A and B are shown apart, each in its own frame.
Chain A
């Protein structure tokens, strides 16, 4: 059971509901008053579509709900709706996300602030339903902002923050919120739902300005261009992603001001890292067994901490390096794979290796692949990874390998 173990105290004006991560996203979408949503079912993403349908049927949300004939159309429809000024939502899982790839590619250069939910799911084959992060990671190089959430509370909060960031005129980039299939999409936890008045103070109206496709503002979107233009367009995207860093920090600060809660550090959650000799790094609901494992190990006197990465794009390079540099060893646990990559590691491990390259202090880094296809990440897995990290901390050397945990061998 992936339940947030810290019971949040109910603020007077917030409702406490027992809802899944997907339902929490739907609560967020209702509060954000989205205009157009497209749906094509695929597990586990379908849970959010079902929740939105219910909101609309109950009269709690007024939005165009368009059932597309596949993911490709689904993303095209919201892309176009967004260019005419609609606040849009869409999403998918696994190979459904892959099927929409052509549309996902064109969304960032067109500066469409689409917000999506990726219910992380293993890619076929074999046909599988459990979580892997490779689906959302498809778009990591293309100008999509990517974040991973851990709880239902984070689901609703991040949904509101996502529109604020994506639609900011300085950014205007699509944003995919990743939620681990089953562990988050299908697990109901006690969640605070803020009142609409507060949301209205936090989230301004979507305004595309001169990029709005409208009869009063006739423009051509996405013309053909030759080599004299493409690199400039890429450079614009690059700048938007760089500007997103400041906009994200602004949004989280404002979120705390308006709602009176939320993390100080938007980029990652730190758990017992202050005095940690070994720091484990992971994304998503993997934090739960890791936190429990860390508490057990702390009782044995082992100084272990966790960095749960929330934002993968933009990647919080400096902040992450500052924290990880203090450790004697770092263990990165990937719930994804990158076959043939350096050290045959997962994506996050290699990103962190790259981020640490210029650091003055580079502790040994161990890379783990774990929990693929929704396999349970056990406390024993966490213990094993941590022990290996302590050994590396002692020797002062990375082992230049990638260790698969929880695989039958």
Chain B
């Protein structure tokens, strides 16, 4: 009697078909050794909106009865393997209001595995992944986040590389041969994909994570109200009006205290307060009201509220004043304006370091110019098609007027 439970944590819409393929692949691979399985998505927990963290699950078991035993709940409460196909999710996930911040390794069983696609080092990732009260393994496949969602499926072999790596992690359930057979039989399978799976089996990197390691942040959490504590009439109060910042200057809006939303973010705006012309466009265009108005009338993007959509960068008329930078190069949500106020020279150095990082300013999700898809696939497929840097940073620069 044994079962293997896997979750696939992905970004809503951007990776929904990728996650579904991985979950199906797990079941079909395990079927090769006569096991029973089910692959499912829980849209209640996966709102399937752009970038919002969501989950698919795959359960395989020795018998139908054992499979049912593991299915008789809304979704698994513990998993043997957490698969994460976007390393910006290592900071935790929050898919709905009142859910709080869920560490990426929260459901992973003691001595289980977190398997991620990432170009970061173990130590870089462990500065983001929360500490866990049990040891586990962190396994990496070298790749950037694949974009295989609602609109386009990027055939960069991420799904088969995950399956190949899983054969290394859980060989009792998925042998490499079974995985390869399942891949070749699938409608999207090919010999090249089988080869990619085998390479991933060889190249997967794994290290043990001790209970002392990881991000020490205490994830925010809430207790759900009882039915008699909830307001009646399906009503929720509006967010109250905000307050001035200092000395009656500036303005900080109140925000939803139960839904911070920032785990939706894959990139964040980095702001040059020295070149800001105080035109208000970022503030007025932000769909999440994430900008706080500072006492000097510049605008600080509040990182607890920013979803990383990039509209501010697009509307900013000043070249390099707002630049979107990948979330992986940041370790906290601290205020940029406060850093700038404290020491402008230090801030300038920090800013230039971030916005001149070509890898970090490349768009990680989506295709931004004609031919990008083909160009990315020209890269080494079994490394996930990385290193696309041309034509992307400051993509709106030609429209900037100031």
Contact with B along A227-242 (1 / 0, CB 8 A): 1110111011001100
B96→A210 contact, CB < 8 A? no
**B230 — which chain A residues lie within 8 A by C-beta?**
229, 232-233, 236
CA distance A240 to B233 in the complex (A): 11
B233-A110 in contact (CB<8A)? yes
Is A393 interfacial (CB-CB < 8 Å)?
A: no
Q: Determine whether the beta carbon of A218 is less than 8 Å from that of B238.
A: yes
Q: In the complex, A109→B234 CA distance in Å? A: 7
Interface residues on B, range: 20 to 34
Given contacts A219-B238, A227-B44, contact A172 B96 (CB under 8 A): no
* A219 close to B237 (CB less than 8 A): yes
The residue on B at minimum CB distance from A227 is B44
| Given A221-B234, A232-B226, A232-B227; 10 other pairs, CB 8 A cutoff | A109-B234, A111-B233, A211-B231, A220-B235, A221-B233, A221-B235, A227-B44, A233-B227, A236-B232, A239-B227
> In the complex, which residue of chain B has the Cβ closest to the Cβ of A211?
B233
Structural contact, A228 and B98, CB atoms closer than 8 A? yes
Q: Beta-carbon contacts of B33-64 to A below 8 Å, as 1s and 0s?
A: 00000000000110100000000000000000
> What residues of chain A lie closer than 8 Å to B234, measured between beta carbons?
109-111, 221-223, 225, 233
Give chain A residues whose Cβ lies under 8 Å from the Cβ of B44: 226-228
Task: Please give, as numbers and ranges, the residues of chain B lying within 8 Å of A218 by CB-CB distance.
Answer: 237-238
| 1/0 contact string of A281-304 vs chain B (CB within 8 Å) | 000000000000000000000000
In the A-B complex, list the 5 residue pairs whose CB atoms are closest, starting with the nearest. Answer: A218-B238, A111-B233, A232-B227, A235-B227, A211-B233
Instruction: List residues of chain B with CB within 8 A of the CB of A240.
Output: 232
Give the CA-CA distance A221 to B74 in the complex, in Å.
Answer: 28
* Assembly CA distance A75 to B45 (angstroms): 33
Chain B nearest CB: distance from A405 CB in Å? 44
* A to B contact number (C-beta, < 8 Å): 60
A228: chain B residues within 8 A (beta carbon): 44, 96, 98, 224
28 pairs, CB–CB < 8 Å, chain A vs chain B: A109-B233, A111-B232, A112-B233, A211-B232, A211-B235, A218-B238, A219-B235, A219-B236, A219-B237, A220-B235, A220-B236, A220-B237, A220-B238, A221-B234, A221-B235, A223-B236, A225-B234, A226-B44, A228-B98, A229-B230, A232-B225, A232-B226, A233-B230, A235-B227, A236-B227, A236-B228, A236-B230, A236-B232
B177: shortest Cβ distance to chain A, in Å?
Answer: 40
**CA A110 – CA B235 in complex, angstroms?**
8
A residues 198-253 in Cβ contact with B at 8 Å: 210-211, 218-223, 225-229, 231-233, 235-236, 239-240
- B residues within 8 A CB of A226? 44-45, 47, 96
State the Cβ distance, A83 to closest chain B Cβ, in Å.
Answer: 8
Please report B residues at the A interface, Cβ cutoff 8 Å.
44-45, 47, 74, 96, 98, 224-228, 230-238
> Please, what's the 1-or-0 string for A115-126, where 1 marks a CB less than 8 Å from any CB in chain B?
000000000000
Q: How far is the CA of A231 from the CA of B224 in the complex (A)?
A: 13
Q: Which of B74, B224, B232 has the most CB of A within 10 A?
A: B232
> Min CB distance, B164 to chain A, in Å?
35
Residue of B nearest to A224 (CB): B47
* Complex partner residue of A172 from B98, B224, B232, B237, CB under 8 angstroms: B232
Q: Which residue of B lies closest to A232 (CB)?
A: B227
Q: Measured between C-beta atoms, what is the minimum distance from A268 to chain B in Å?
A: 29
The secondary-structure label for the interface of chain B is: loop
CA distance A110 to B234 in the complex (A): 6
B382 to chain A, nearest CB (A): 38
Closest chain-A Cβ to B353's Cβ sits at a distance in Å of 40
Complex: chain A residue closest to B226, CB-CB = A232
Residues of chain A within 8 A (CB-CB) of B226 are 232
Residues in A lying within 8 Å of B, measured CB to CB: 109-112, 172, 210-211, 218-223, 225-229, 231-233, 235-236, 239-240
Distance between Cα atoms of A110 and B233 in the complex (Å) = 4
A339 to chain B, nearest CB (A): 33
Distance, CA A228 to CA B74, complexed state (A): 12
Residues of A with C-beta under 8 A to B47: 226
B233 contact set on A, CB distance < 8 A: 109-112, 172, 211, 221
**Nearest CB in chain B to that of A83: its residue:** B233
Complex Cα–Cα for A221 and B236 (A): 7
Nearest CB to that of B230 among chain A residues?
A232
Q: What are the residues of chain A within 8 A of B236 when measuring CB–CB?
A: 219-220, 223
Residues on the B chain within 8 Å of A111, using CB = 232-234
Q: How far is the CB of A110 from chain B (nearest CB, A)?
A: 5
User: How far does the Cβ of A106 sit from chain B's closest Cβ, in whole Å?
Assistant: 9
CB-CB under 8 A from A110, the residues of chain B are 233-234
Report the bound CA distance from A112 to B232 in whole Å. 11
A233 to B96, alpha carbons, bound, how many Å?
Answer: 18
Taking CB as reference atom, which chain B residue is nearest A222? B234
- B235: chain A residues at CB < 8 Å are 210-211, 219-221
With the chains together, A37 CA to B272 CA distance in Å?
A: 57
- Residues of the B chain whose Cβ atoms lie less than 8 Å from the Cβ of A221: 233-235
B47, B74, B235, B237: most-surrounded residue (chain A CB, <10 A): B235
Residues of A with C-beta under 8 A to B237: 218-220
Min CB gap A257→B, angstroms: 29
B43 to A, closest residue via Cβ: A226
Residues of B close to A112: CB separation below 8 A: 233
CA distance A172 to B233 in the complex (A): 9
CA distance A223 to B235 in the complex (A): 7
Complex Cα distance, B225 from A218, in Å, reads 21
CA distance A223 to B44 in the complex (A): 15
Q: Which residue of A lies closest to B74 (CB)?
A: A227
**B232 surroundings in chain A (CB, below 8 A):** 111, 172, 211, 236, 240
User: A225 to B237, alpha carbons, bound, how many Å?
Assistant: 15
CB distance from B93 to the nearest CB of A (A): 15
Q: How far is the CA of A41 from the CA of B225 in the complex (A)?
A: 44
Measured CA separation A225–B234 after assembly (Å) = 9
Q: For residue B45, which residue of chain A has the nearest CB?
A: A226
CA distance A38 to B172 in the complex (A): 68
Chain B contacts of A219 at CB under 8 A? Answer: 235-238
The docked-state distance in angstroms from the alpha carbon of A227 to that of B231 is 17
Q: Provide the bound-state CA to CA distance between A117 and B47, in Å.
A: 40
Residues of A contacting B224 in the complex (Cβ-Cβ under 8 angstroms): 228
Residues of A within 8 Å of B227, CB to CB, are 231-233, 235-236, 239
* Cα of A305 to Cα of B5 in the assembled complex, Å: 66
Q: State in angstroms the CA–CA spacing of A221 and B233 once bound together.
A: 7
Q: How far is the CB of A212 from chain B (nearest CB, A)?
A: 10
Q: Point out the residues of chain B lying under 8 angstroms from A223, CB to CB.
A: 234, 236
**Residue of B with least CB distance to A225:** B234
Q: How far is B227's CA from A92's CA once the two chains are assembled, in angstroms?
A: 33
Bound CA span A233–B235, Å: 10
Q: Which residues on the B side are within 8 Å of A225 (C-beta)?
A: 234
- Complex CA gap A218/B239 in Å reads 8
Distance, CA A111 to CA B233, complexed state (A): 5
B322 to chain A: closest CB distance in Å?
30
Q: Which residue of B lies closest to A235 (CB)?
A: B227
A191 to B228, CA, bound (A): 43
Instruction: State the Cβ distance, B70 to closest chain A Cβ, in Å.
Output: 19
Min Cβ gap B262→A in Å is 19
C-alpha spacing A222/B235, complex, angstroms = 6
In the assembled complex, the CB of B241 is this many whole angstroms from the nearest CB of chain A, namely 9
Chain B residue numbers with a CB within 8 Å of A227 are 44, 74
